[in-house]
Amino acid sequence: MTASHRPRDESRIRLDSTAHLMDSISSQRPGPPALVLVAHGSRDPRALHTVRALMERVRRLRPAVPVRLGHIELNEPLLPDALAALGTAPAVLVPLLLTHGHHVKRDIPEAVAATAPHVRVAAPLGPHPLLVDTLYARLVAAGWRTRTSEATRRGSGVVLAAAGSRDPGSAVDTRRTARLLADRLGVPVVPAYASAATPTVPAALRALAADGRHRIAVASCFTAPGRFATQCAEQAPWIASAPLGAHPAMARLVLHRYDQALTRARPEPELASA
């Protein structure tokens, strides 16, 4: 090989070495923490189908983030199994729950403390404006008119049907969601519960009717179809919206809670609902 060829060859060697070094550094750089959706679980097969559809929508929005699933009960994988599968990899649990109830305050943090202390727990999905965006869209899809006369609004109302909890913090969150939805719709929105809290959906319907509201919709504040969601919808005197499901705003809300959890200085089981 002549001397005239050496600089070119040496330059190529340096470039190849640099590229190899950069590839090595890139391969060692950790990826983003996994996002584990924590669903309640249901005997209704539509619930699991809905949660998986939401998972896929989240994956499409953030392809670099591994998205997994765990259930509190009734469906597999159960949360302890999902946590075990993580090993020591970092992750954020995002509860597919709508208030700060017992599952969020106790069950999920206890499961993390027992098996995966390196995992962060995000806030529940509600209350939040993106949740209200979904409730509004589901009502419109069910037949709620976005433009009505003043007389029609005076005769209209909504019952926000939720699962219910004995935890008073859960009711506070549901009432806040109801206020946000009322501001959006321009009509009264009364929170009501399928179990464990009052008022019940029939009682809320009667209260609105007694106030002269006879065009009453039931807004389904449930993540996925199930027994409670079906029972509440069946009591609607006019229209009932579908559960929140895999609406695009729900996927954005999941990622918002994930990002919030990652920006905290240290993992905590509970955080503000804003």
Count of Cβ atoms closer than 10 Å to residue 30 Cβ: 7
Mutual orientation of helices 45-61 and 248-263 as an angle, nearest 10°?
70
SS3 state at 157: strand
> Mapped to the 3 state alphabet, what secondary structure does 169-205 carry?
HHHHHHHHHHHHHHHHHCCCEEEEECCCCCCEHHHHH
- Which 8-state DSSP code applies to residue 78? B
Residue 186: strand pairing partners: none
Q: Which of 20, 40, 128, 214 is catalytic?
A: 40
* C-alpha dihedral sign at 245, 98, 86, 259: positive
Is 40 considered catalytic here? yes
* Rounded distance between C-alpha atoms, residue 36 and residue 239, angstroms: 34
Helix or strand holding residue 221 (H, E): none
* Rounded distance between C-alpha atoms, residue 226 and residue 18, angstroms: 57
* Rounded distance between C-alpha atoms, residue 37 and residue 60, angstroms: 15
SS3 state at 216: strand
By annotation, the residues acting in catalysis are 40
